[in-house]
Amino acid sequence: MIFNSILLERAYLQTRKSVPPNFGAKMKLRRRNALDKAYRLLQANPFIHYENGKMLLLSESKTKTGEAKFYETRSDECRLIEPGGFLCHAFWEGFPCWHRAAFEIVENYFEIIEESNLKNAAQTVSAVNSSVAVVNSKTARQPPV
Ligand SMILES: [Zn+2]
């Protein structure tokens, strides 16, 4: 997946602003580090696949035997699915991980795109309406035949 870099940065900054209210200083720092890593890796355009609130992503780390690691992450869980099927270590311990940080950034990215599409649609409608108004006023000024 190729991201628009401007929108991706906006999504990253927006995600950084939302901190769970129960987070203390150490958790905030861990979250910040997870988000920074996620943002860096999303910019580098790794393999991700997002569908219906689930995201599959390729980790930059490998297994001891050199195999690629795929994580499946969603809002309430993060799991190493290949190889294995174990919960993500950080998630298991209750810490922010970069997988879920990436998931949050990508969800915000899609929200931003959706909002900008709605704005564009609204502008199109008002442009059409104003041109109709111009046509009507020209028609109104024409002398009666
Ligand atoms: Zn994780």
The pLDDT tens digits of the residues spanning 71-86 come to 999 989 999 998 888 9
pLDDT of 132 higher than 60: no
Nearest to residue 91, comparing CAs of 15, 30, 29, 10? 30
Determine the pLDDT at residue 106: 95
- pLDDT tier at 140 (50, 70, 90 boundaries)? low
Interatomic CA distance for residues 39 and 44, integer angstroms = 9
For residue 24, give its domain range.
5-141
Dist. CA 96 → ligand 1 center (Å): 7
Ligand 1 ion: nearby residues, β-carbon < 5 Å = 78, 88, 91, 97, 99
The pLDDT tens digits of the residues spanning 25-38 come to 999 999 999 999 99
What total of structural domains would you count in the chain?
Answer: 1
> pTM of the prediction?
0.80
Q: Are 88 and 78 in contact (CB under 8 A)?
A: yes
